[in-house]
Amino acid sequence: MDRGRSLKDDGGVRLQINELRKLSETCGSNTIFEPQSSPENRESSAESISSASVVRAPEKKLTLFALRLSIFEKSATGLGTLGFIWATVVLLGGFAITLDETDFWFITVILLIEGTRIFSRSHELEWQHQATWSITDAGINSFRAVRSSSHILIRAVKKIFYPLSLIRKQTQNTREIAQVDRSQVGRWNQARAPTRTWIPSDVPLLPYGQWVFLSRNISKVLYWLQLLSATACVVLSSMKLIKHNYGEVQKGDTDKRNRQSALNIFYALALAEALLFLMEKAYWEYKVIYCKLLEEVNRECEFGPTGIISIKRFFYDAYSRCVVGSIFDGLKMDIVTFAMDLLASNSPDEQLIGARILRQFAISERYSDDTLQKIGINLSAVERLVEMLNWKDPQEEEIRKSAAEVLSKLVGKKQNCLRVAGIPGAMESISSLLQTNRSSGGGADEIGEKNLILDHVNYSFWTFNHLGLLILKKLACDHDNCGKIGNTRGLLPKIIDFTHAGEKLLRDENVAPSQILTVKRSLQLVKMLTSTTGATGKHLRKEISEVVFTISNIRYILIYGEKHPMLQKLSIEILTNLALEEEATERIGGTGGVLKELFNIFLNQEMPERQNLVRRAAGEALAMLALESRANCHRILKLQALERLVEALEDPLLRVNAARILRNLCTYSGAECFYQLKGVIAAAPTVLKTIMSEENKLQEVMVGLAAQVFKHMTSEESSIMFDRAGIKEEELAKALVQILQKYYHPSAKVPRIRRFAIELAIWMMHDKAKNVYIFNGLGMEKELEGVLETTAELESFNIFSGTVGLSRHSTTIHSLVETALKLLRES
């Protein structure tokens, strides 16, 4: 048991490590300290072009089968029509007087049999349609089929029952009005439910029709009636064709000879029609019963046990089109379009069938691409799916869930994502999927609905929460959609509520994966919203930071979430993004325990390898929170972490962010903290060695830290530090000149390295006069003049939101160059 549990834990650890690595690869090595190109083109993985081969639609087997059946049917019908005309016009019209009594009655019986078969056939499909409905609707649906089969009777009786129907209709309306007056809440989602009243054409003549007229039974009766009539027709026609007992034909009796030929033709037509019909039925039985064609297509469509009803409905519709119209009309049908048509129906059964089909095809690897493409270009279908998200009646739970799953797949494509978000009320409909335990807002009108929700303990609230968050997460890949999410009333507090995870949830080894998934998706969504650029991003960060639960929820994850490094990393990145705004920075620093927990994560050497990315993220968050915030710098200094930060400069994992934090502490703590920061002097040897041996980002942050660290030293102390590092000042001066030569043009990867190099050179020239001569000898003046000619806005900011610079440096790079040139020239 212990070994099994350890294997399970190891598997979970590996999974979390892989997730963190994937996230790191996706985000790249860039941070908010460097500009990121095209931040708004965040495409979901579903946007990638599929290289899968084209898969033939399985329903084409059914449409082809319907075509072949319709050929038999129309051929038989044509022969039957011809036989009827032949019998009435030629035989009964031309030879009625001279026909033998046996022939007359044979013809009459055959015509009656054929009429019965044609009548049965013409309405069998409709009854087969009715057989696919739920049994609870059998009475009404069966009556509708009877009504369509006997229009004359209904029209005759309609006048009798019309006054009664009006009285019943008025009584029904009066009851409904009284019911609404008695209760504002009523049935769940009663506002959407259509008012059902009888209209004259729908009055059931047989109140107990659901027991008498079951669609399946009537369909079987009609089926066997057709077989019997066709068989009888074959027997009777064969008897006459074999015996030829039409009476004796005398020589020269042309009339009797013509009558005999006419009878042969009629019986042959009747026999051919009946045989064609029997061949059709035999072909039907072979394909449907023996070959199990419907089950085969259902299996290929991956519909499952309940899918056979959907397959039957599609086939009967295709067959009806082939029979009623052109035989090729059924070939134009496809099951996705058929399902979208069913969504628009007012029948819950048809809506459920359509939703099931679309859901199964949308989640299928084989059919999802084509299905989502067809749905995406059908705006009415998309609007219907969005509308279904608001259907909260427990009886419509499966329809609502299927619609949500289809939309969650649909918005994975950017063009569909824009279409869905552009539908009026779409965000409100998606918001209705989210049901939180704590009420973050809402009016009194929501109280009744929430009480009703609690009454339905079997309702899949967590499933809808997951789907709602997933849809919003995919929508948030687009910059404009982020703004719409933020502007939807009550949506942001709902999302923040899902980030709540207490100690019991985070430390429970047997916690349900769905609960962790909910927290994860909500954090991912909040992170995407807070990383939005421009005015929209600024507004979202302000709104999110003002929700009182945002930072406290994150604090719990930092304190108790050591078993869930993915949740911790997402939480820390949210703090980093929020820190782009000054007010949010102060809120985060002022929330008790947040800075302390970030330091515990960042400097904890005992944390396992799987949390290295979490530690790196914590360092970046601390650097952001210390940037231009004197209050947070003071809070950090009170944590007595300065010495540990200096030691972290030796750690390859931590040194970049440790250098950023130390630089910000030195820069923004103020003069009153000068002596508290004296301990930073101990970092000088490490900083000097790194400048001389490293390059790119690490070299940039170390040069920037050196420019601040040496300001806390006297000239004698700086000389001692150079000796401890084993580096001469001439060597450092040469390295700074080489940096300016290497980065003749500003680099997006290290946008501040030229500024930091000039700041350090200015300090060195102020520190010792000899350094001025060293820089002159190395050609520093020429390099500085080159900087003046190549300066860019890129070098003017501390941080970036996408390609937009934030936190502009108080001193321009032009001013720094002018100061350095002045020192060089005065010498």
CB-count burial class (<10 Å; 0-12, 13-18, 19+) for 252: exposed
- CA nearest to 111, candidates 84, 129, 91: 84
Q: List the structure tokens of 403.
A: 């619609």
Distance in angstroms (rounded) separating the CA atoms of residues 66 and 319: 5
Distance in angstroms (rounded) separating the CA atoms of residues 281 and 529: 62
Contact 819, 812 (CB under 8 A): no
Judge whether 236 lies within some domain. Answer: yes
CB-count burial class (<10 Å; 0-12, 13-18, 19+) for 208: exposed
Judge whether 130 lies within some domain. Answer: yes
What is the CB neighbour count within 10 angstroms for residue 457? Answer: 7
| Chain centroid, CA 322 distance in Å | 37
Q: What pLDDT is stored for residue 52 in this prediction?
A: 43
Q: What pLDDT is stored for residue 14 in this prediction?
A: 47
What is the mean pLDDT of each successive set of 10 residues along the chain, which is 827 residues long? Answer: 41 48 44 64 42 66 89 82 73 58 66 64 55 42 37 36 37 41 38 42 46 56 74 78 62 62 78 85 88 90 87 89 86 91 91 93 90 92 94 91 94 88 93 72 39 54 92 93 93 94 89 90 95 92 94 94 93 95 94 93 85 92 94 93 92 93 92 87 93 91 93 89 92 94 91 93 90 91 92 88 83 92 85
Q: Mutual orientation of helices 565-578 and 550-560 as an angle, nearest 10°?
A: 140
Contact 536, 484 (CB under 8 A): no
Judge whether 88 lies within some domain. Answer: yes
- CA nearest to 454, candidates 825, 637, 188: 188
804-808 and 797-801 beta bridge pairing: antiparallel
Q: What pLDDT is stored for residue 186 in this prediction?
A: 37
Residues of the domain holding 238: 57-135+213-244+258-333
Distance set, CA 269 to CA 124, 261, 637 (Å)? 23, 12, 105
Contact 241, 265 (CB under 8 A): no
Q: What pLDDT is stored for residue 166 in this prediction?
A: 35
Domain count, the chain: 1
Distance in angstroms (rounded) separating the CA atoms of residues 546 and 782: 51
Judge whether 817 lies within some domain. Answer: no
Judge whether 481 lies within some domain. Answer: no
Q: Percent helix, strand and coil across the chain, each rounded to 5?
A: 75, 0, 25
- Paired with 801 in beta bridges are 804
CB-count burial class (<10 Å; 0-12, 13-18, 19+) for 696: exposed
| DSSP per-residue string spanning 529-589 | HHT--HHHHHHHHHHHHHSTTHHHHHHHHHHH-TT-HHHHHHHHHHHHHHTTSHHHHHHHH
Judge whether 305 lies within some domain. Answer: yes
Q: Which helix (H) or strand (E) holds 174?
A: helix 151-182
Distance set, CA 555 to CA 436, 598, 708 (Å)? 20, 9, 32
Distance in angstroms (rounded) separating the CA atoms of residues 817 and 790: 12
| DSSP per-residue string spanning 669-724 | S-GGGTTTTGGGGGGHHHHHHHHHH--HHHHHHHHHHHHHHGGGS-HHHHHHHHHH
Judge whether 722 lies within some domain. Answer: no
Judge whether 63 lies within some domain. Answer: yes
When computed from its CA atoms, the radius of gyration of the chain, rounded to whole angstroms, is 41
Cα dihedral: 113, 114, 116, 120 (round 10): 140
